[in-house]
Amino acid sequence: MRIVSYNLNGIRAAIKKGLIEWLTEYPVDVFCVQETKASSTDIDLNLFTSMGYHVAWYPAQKKGYSGVAIFSKVKPNKVVYGNGYEMSDAEGRVVRVDIGELTIINAYFPSGTSGPERQAYKYQWLNELFIWIQDLKKERPHIILAGDYNIAYRDIDIHDPKGNKKSSGFLPEEKAWMESFLLAGWVDSFRKINPTTTGAYSWWSQRFPSVRLQNKGWRIDYLCTTESLSNRINDASILPLVKHSDHCPIVIEIK
């Protein structure tokens, strides 16, 4: 099973940039997207269903903001919209599908870059997610948590760790949360397969067009699995040459 996570920074814009053509050429079993910035009626879902996808779409209440979706070629046994926390659900940040014994959660973690209030909410959201997903793991032990985590947690995951030590997404509290999350029984699939790879990033700032050309990026997108799935990870990779967004797709292949 090939699972892809991709922050599209607007699904309508990504479609105009060739997303559907790429999906046609690069077969994906489960496609998790963040920042759809649209409701399901804003696009032609037949573009996806004609390829055999079942669609679980969870938009934000605010138009043109946030939103997540999962496109699965296997019909899920169960779909759950949101994680039960009011603000997170209003912002369309979490959707879950169960496919047999496997649970796939697609999450768009908040960014704190707009100021202290959102940074404070980011910490609240991280704590809420941790409580929710650790509880879910007791019932559903085989979980993949896909998404834009908005955290680069080690120096190897960011092009300029010294220059960004006070930047949201690389703050000590955020890195500590990520480390504690992994210690609580989760596996960073990319680092399991590529433990020492450098220059492997999934997001580049749009403010400076040369940044992506120079590969001055951050690895903030993840496909983490519960430890029970660790030995079933065949491969994990990042596709920086795929350009429909300021992010790029990340991939995991599971037995």
Residues with catalytic roles: 108, 148
Query: Can you tell me the distance from the alpha carbon of 71 to that of 79, in angstroms, rounded to the nearest whole number?
Result: 11
Query: Can you tell me the distance from the alpha carbon of 105 to that of 149, in angstroms, rounded to the nearest whole number?
Result: 12
Query: Can you tell me the distance from the alpha carbon of 35 to that of 245, in angstroms, rounded to the nearest whole number?
Result: 10
Query: Can you tell me the distance from the alpha carbon of 245 to that of 13, in angstroms, rounded to the nearest whole number?
Result: 8
CB 222 within 8 A of CB 147: yes
Query: Can you tell me the distance from the alpha carbon of 207 to that of 178, in angstroms, rounded to the nearest whole number?
Result: 27
User: Which DSSP helix (H) or strand (E) runs through 127?
Assistant: helix 116-139
Residue 217 CA, distance from chain mean position: 16
Longest dimension (CA), the chain: 47
- For residue 211, give Cα distances in angstroms to 8, 26, 48, 156, 252: 18, 26, 32, 17, 26
Determine the 3-state secondary structure of 16 from DSSP.
helix
